[in-house]
Amino acid sequence: MWPDNETERDFLNFSGVADTVAEIIVQANGRPVSIGVSGAWGVGKSSMIKLIQSSLSARPKEERDFVFVEFNAWLYQGYDDARAALMDVIVTKLAEEAKARQKAVSKVGDLLKRVNWLRVAKLAIPSAVALAMGLPPVGLAGEALDIGRRLLSGGDEKALGDAEQSAAKVGEAATRMVKPQSMTSPPKEIQALRDNFEEALTEMGITLVVLIDDLDRCLPPTTISTLEAIRLFLFLKNTAFVVAADNDMIKYAVRRHFENVQDERLVTNYFDKLIQVPIRVPPLGTQEVRAYMILLYVENSALAPDIKEKIRAAICAQLRQTWQGKRVDAAFVQTLHDQFAPDLVSKFDAADRLAPLMTTATDIGGNPRLIKRFLNALSIRLAIAKTHGVAVDEAVLVKLLLFERLADPRAYAELLAHVSADERGRPAFLGDWEEAIAAGRDLSLDAPWNAPFIAEWLSLPPMLAGTDLRGAFYVSREHAPLITPEDRLSSASAELLTALLENPDMASAAKPQLAKVPRAEITIIMDRLLERARQEQQWGVPPILEACIAVAEVDPPQGARLAAFLTDRPASQIQPNIVPRIGDQPWAKRVFEAWRSSTVSPPVKAAITRQEKHGHVSI
């Protein structure tokens, strides 16, 4: 299994972009800079942020001393105001640095007080508005007023105790304000905070790099609050902001915030004014996807850490040369180490086969997170198979998992239905299609099988038409249950069917038990017996015929079905010795009439004549 976490180890050949972003921050030389790392959900923005931090951390300190603040707005959503939380995180980090460096301690202390003042002011304002509107106030003021009402209405000892605690809280919050007499408005406090912040950074001789991630996961109010907090510290000396977010999600949040704004340019400009340097996470091509999957397999292997790192570095170096025609594939990776386990080599081969589909399939599109989820789902199903003792070919499971994720759900349901109905769990209907694809012929299919993906999928090894897929569908039950005809049988009938399929030549002994089976279940039993019978290529007296005759003898309507089945057999399969075996059955006459008028062999027709002449044909 692979965790869905960002990493400082480059599996996606992002180091070049990360180093470029780091160089932009270094070259700014203390001038404020804001950089936006954009890309869709799951493409690797968080890993890019980590790689940028790693690249900057590797720079010599005499070149520039960087201090990093990591802020994930999504973690605070629903628990704290995003603006206040970001201010707290930044100032707390500066306080730690000031203490460690013994520089700007008093300035950072003043900065912390101003942030607290803004917090208290923010708590007081909503309470005042709430009181004016006749609504219950919130925050410390609301708590105090609530306790006051309880005291005025008679109160109790608990109310007195609560009042003392609330007073202590309000008093403590008030003492954290800086010069409350002179700081009468938030605008003055905000400007003082910005000045204080810039002076502290200059005195410590550091560049503060604020890394903001998962902004596009937040609800619109949290997104806007965080952007406003960024604006508070933005464009101050010795600061760099790196914001990772999906541009479309940010625009959506801005559009929701400014509900009456009709001009799309205004929505775009809001974010553009915050971001000076836009960087887009590069999309992955087939080479990168193949390399990524191979590295994931290497990461989960038993190879030593130093060998893993050597392979990772070599693969990334090769990726930087793919524009010159270099390839990252199973063959290349096997040159990097001479003792790969056979199962790991087979996984490299699987990555070779799957990479093109993982890159081009609309629902995956080379997205690293979706690739990882696909491989995790595969691992889970292999584990289920092992636990339940189900023999499943990994290549078959991979192919079915791809189909489950990318094909039309109606096609998946149809495939499952064919597997459920087939006595050996095979989707035989795929056979002609697989042969056409293998021969390079065009394939024209009706819905829901007419998507371009289907042709790609059919070409993937292994071929499935002759493969028992029941085990693979069994371990995939969280997506769709495998329902076979036996599931509609009572336990006694299911056991009887199993016995007939395993020992059909002993079926006559089972007729007393068959006579007790309900009509609906007898029909299901005959369905399965005829399904097995269709596999016979020579119709003399195969054992399965004995089982079919036994069922027909206890339930006459099944005789008509057996007669129709035998009539439909190719004439070349019919052999003379079947004639005396079925001659005394009530349905035999119409079978013989059909065979006599067909192209069955002369010996078969002669056997029918003899059977009728001696009076052994039932009429």
SS3 574: strand
229's tokens: 């907090």
Whole-angstrom distance, CA of residue 110 vs CA of residue 198: 12
Least confident of 13-22, 34-43, 153-162: 153-162
Question: Contact at 8 Å (CB) between 249 and 224?
Answer: no
Question: Contact at 8 Å (CB) between 379 and 1?
Answer: yes
DSSP secondary structure of 118-162: HHHHHHHHHHHHHHHTTPPP-HHHHHHHHHHHHHHTT--HHHHHH
Sheet containing 277-280, strands listed edge to edge, beginning at the edge strand earlier in sequence: 66-72, 207-213, 239-245, 33-38, 277-280
Quick one: pLDDT band at residue 493, thresholds 50, 70, 90?
confident
Polymer length of the chain: 619
Residue 127 scores a pLDDT above 70 = no
pLDDT for 206-224, tens place per residue? 999 999 988 878 888 888 8
Quick one: pLDDT band at residue 140, thresholds 50, 70, 90?
very low
Q: Which residues make beta-bridge pairs with 38?
A: 245, 280
Quick one: pLDDT band at residue 423, thresholds 50, 70, 90?
confident
Of 152 and 606, the one with more pLDDT: 606
- 614: CB partners within 8 A, 6+ apart: none
Whole-angstrom distance, CA of residue 457 vs CA of residue 448: 14
Around Cβ 35, how many Cβ atoms within 10 Å?
20
239's tokens: 């600061």
Least confident of 126-135, 254-263, 533-542, 576-585: 126-135
Whole-angstrom distance, CA of residue 208 vs CA of residue 238: 6
- 512: CB partners within 8 A, 6+ apart: none
- Average pLDDT of the residues in 199-206: 91
Residue 136: the pLDDT is: 42
pLDDT for 286-308, tens place per residue? 999 999 999 999 998 999 999 99
- Average pLDDT of the residues in 26-40: 89
Is residue 615 classed exposed, middle or buried when 0-12, 13-18 and 19+ CB atoms within 10 A define those classes?
A: exposed
Whole-angstrom distance, CA of residue 346 vs CA of residue 243: 40
Q: Which residues make beta-bridge pairs with 34?
A: 241
- Average pLDDT of the residues in 128-148: 42
Of 546 and 111, the one with more pLDDT: 546
Residue 172 scores a pLDDT above 60 = no
Residue 525 scores a pLDDT above 70 = yes
Residue 356: the pLDDT is: 84
Residue 209: the pLDDT is: 94
Residue 562 scores a pLDDT above 90 = yes
- Average pLDDT of the residues in 13-18: 86
Quick one: pLDDT band at residue 260, thresholds 50, 70, 90?
low
Quick one: pLDDT band at residue 145, thresholds 50, 70, 90?
very low
Quick one: pLDDT band at residue 118, thresholds 50, 70, 90?
confident
First to last CA, the chain: 68
Residue 578 scores a pLDDT above 80 = yes
Residue 133: the pLDDT is: 38
Of 471 and 146, the one with more pLDDT: 471
Q: Smallest Cα–Cα separation from 211: which of 28, 69, 74?
A: 69
Residue 364 scores a pLDDT above 90 = no
Question: Contact at 8 Å (CB) between 248 and 240?
Answer: no
Of 149 and 323, the one with more pLDDT: 323
Q: CA 356 from chain center: how many Å?
A: 18
SS3 516: coil
Residue 126: the pLDDT is: 44
DSSP secondary structure of 197-212: HHHHHHHHT-EEEEEE
Quick one: pLDDT band at residue 406, thresholds 50, 70, 90?
confident
Backbone dihedral angles phi then psi of residue 539, each to the nearest 5 degrees: -105, 75
Residue 39: the pLDDT is: 84
Residue 333 scores a pLDDT above 80 = yes
- Average pLDDT of the residues in 435-451: 90
Residue 552 scores a pLDDT above 90 = yes
State the chain's mean pLDDT as an integer: 82
Positive or negative, the CA dihedral 595, 599, 600, 604 is positive
Residue 162: the pLDDT is: 52
Residues 160, 165, 168, 174, Cα dihedral to 10°: -100
> Homologous superfamily of 11-103+205-281 in CATH?
P-loop containing nucleotide triphosphate hydrolases (3.40.50.300)
Residue 112: the pLDDT is: 84
Around Cβ 180, how many Cβ atoms within 10 Å?
12
pLDDT for 58-101, tens place per residue? 888 766 789 999 988 787 776 557 777 888 888 899 999 999 99
Whole-angstrom distance, CA of residue 397 vs CA of residue 380: 11
